[in-house]
Every structure is written in C-alpha cells, then in structure tokens.
C-alpha cells in the first residue's frame, strides 16, 4: 500500500496569521498520525512564512511515523536537515520567492550540484528524494546523481485529469516505469486530492509514498481530519 504523508504547511500558515500557537502544529501532527497518516511532511522556506525552522526542530517530539523535510538545499536548509535528521529529505528547486513548488530538478544540468549534497545527507543516514518532472531523461539523470527516490511533480496530472485521465497519467507511467527499471523508489506529490488520487495510485507502479497538503487541508475544512485521512487511505488501497 502507498503511504500517505501529510504536508502541514497550511496549518502553520493559519497559525502564523494571528500569531500565538493556534492551531497547535505539534498537536495537529500528533492527531493526523492517530487518524492514520503514515508520515508528516514540512517544507520550510527561507522566509519561514509558514513552517519555521524551530517547528522542524520540535516536530520529532511527536512524529512517530516518517518525518519528511522538503526544501531547496541552500546552506541553512542543509544545516537544519543535518541537525534534525528526519527519515527523508526531499530536495526541491524552488526559488526564494516561489509561492509554491512549480518545477522539478533538471537532473542533467544540476548533476554536479546535487550529487555531493545527496551524498552528505545519505552519509548522515537520511534517505534522499528529489523532485522531478515526469520525463524519462530526468529520471535517468536522477539515477546518476545517486538519490534514493524521486518525487514525481504531479501538478500537470491534476490539471489534466478532469478532462482526460488517460492522457494525464501517461507521462507519469512512463517515468515510473523507468524509475522501477533503474531501482529508484517512487514518491509523488503536488495537487493530488481525493478526486484524483485513486486513479493515480492505481496506474503508477511501485508508488511508495504520496505527500499531500493543500487539497487535504481544504477538504478537511468540510469533512474533518478524522474523516479525510481514512478516505485517502481507502483510495490508496486500489
């Protein structure tokens, strides 16, 4: 079964809107796991507009499943990850002022940059994953940089899914098949939702983990975390 990791950035955004500690990020992380989430994901950005570096340091107190820290591997981020030592680090090439992640790594152009960073994390016992677009040549490049896993950037799938699911999934199937051939673990994330997750997980071979934040948080405003988490888990069974 594909594991569900919940990105709690939006919870931090809500907390930061009023200051103080409501909602309590650590309590939410604890509750999500109690409701069935198999991992917690955070994506601290340099401006700390949602997740703060201090959140990353405190979350291991309550995360009993898998802890995944995403981000652009600038020096401060690298230092943070090496200090916290999460289960997994996911490298994302987002600009400092990016509203949200909007592209995968060019693993061919950035091979020399990524390779030593990935090795540094692996030497510290941290599993590495890198954010990539669903292109076979980028998957081949991911193998060359030495990462343990890839995370397929799924925005294009989510956008095209309502009109043509088969066309939307096709490049992701090809990319996943190449990853399997190269013995790379496969994660996925960005704009996956209750509407489109079942079709995606059904067609992607050896999908190990999905990281879902924005849609899951929005759906939970209506349905509640306690209901939404099992709904995702049910869809990930097929």
- Residue-wise pLDDT tens digits, 156-208: 999 999 999 999 999 999 999 999 999 999 999 999 999 999 999 999 999 99
d(Cα 97, Cα 192) in Å, to the nearest integer?
Answer: 23
Spatial neighbors of 81 by CB under 8 A, at least 6 apart, are 69, 71, 89, 121, 126
Mean pLDDT, range 209-235, rounded to an integer:
98
Per-residue confidence (pLDDT) for residue 102, from 0 to 100: 59
Contact 141, 111 (CB under 8 A): yes
> Taking the domains of the chain in order of start, what are their residue ranges?
3-235
Mean pLDDT, range 216-235, rounded to an integer:
98
What is the dotted CATH code of the domain comprising 3-235?
Answer: 3.20.20.70
Per-residue confidence (pLDDT) for residue 151, from 0 to 100: 98
In this prediction, residue 1 has a pLDDT band, given cuts at 50, 70 and 90, of confident
70 is catalytic: yes
Per-residue confidence (pLDDT) for residue 115, from 0 to 100: 97
Per-residue confidence (pLDDT) for residue 56, from 0 to 100: 98
190 is catalytic: yes
Spatial neighbors of 113 by CB under 8 A, at least 6 apart, are none
Mean pLDDT, range 13-34, rounded to an integer:
97
Cis peptide before 23 (omega within 30 of 0): yes
Spatial neighbors of 120 by CB under 8 A, at least 6 apart, are 78, 82
Residue 32 has pLDDT above 90, yes or no: yes
110 is catalytic: no
Task: Check 50, 66, 151, 190 and give the catalytic one.
Answer: 190
Residue 73 has pLDDT above 80, yes or no: yes
Alpha helices (H) along 124-164: 136-145, 155-160
Q: Which residue has the higher pLDDT, 79 or 238?
A: 79
Q: What's the pLDDT tens digit per position in 85-140?
A: 999 999 999 765 544 555 799 999 999 999 999 999 999 999 999 999 999 999 99
Task: Check 50, 66, 70, 151 and give the catalytic one.
Answer: 70
Mean pLDDT, range 15-40, rounded to an integer:
97
- State the chain's mean pLDDT as an integer: 95
Task: Check 43, 50, 66, 219 and give the catalytic one.
Answer: 43
């Amino acid at each position: 079964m594909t594991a569900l990791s919940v990105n709690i950035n939006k919870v931090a955004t809500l907390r930061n809107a009023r200051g103080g500690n409501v909602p309590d990020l650590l309590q939410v992380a604890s509750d999500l796991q109690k409701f069935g989430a198999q991992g917690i994901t955070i994506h601290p950005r340099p401006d700390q507009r949602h997740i703060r570096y201090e959140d990353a340091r405190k979350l291991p107190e309550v995360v009993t499943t898998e802890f995944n820290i995403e981000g652009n591997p600038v020096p401060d981020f690298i230092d943070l990850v090496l200090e916290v030592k999460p289960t997994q680090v996911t490298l994302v090439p987002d600009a400092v002022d990016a509203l949200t992640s909007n592209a995968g790594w060019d693993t061919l152009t950035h091979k020399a940059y990524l390779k030593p960073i990935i090795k540094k994390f692996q030497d510290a016992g941290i599993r590495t994953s890198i954010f990539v677009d669903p292109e076979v040549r980028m998957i081949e490049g991911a193998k060359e940089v030495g990462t343990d896993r890839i995370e397929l950037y799924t925005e294009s799938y989510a956008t095209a899914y309502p009109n043509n699911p088969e066309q939307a999934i096709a490049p992701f199937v090809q990319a996943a098949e190449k990853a399997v051939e190269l013995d790379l673990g496969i994660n996925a994330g960005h704009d996956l939702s209750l509407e489109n997750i079942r079709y995606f997980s059904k067609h992607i071979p050896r999908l190990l983990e999905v990281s879902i934040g924005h849609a899951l948080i929005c759906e939970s405003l209506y349905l509640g975390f306690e209901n939404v988490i099992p709904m995702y888990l049910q869809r990930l069974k097929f």
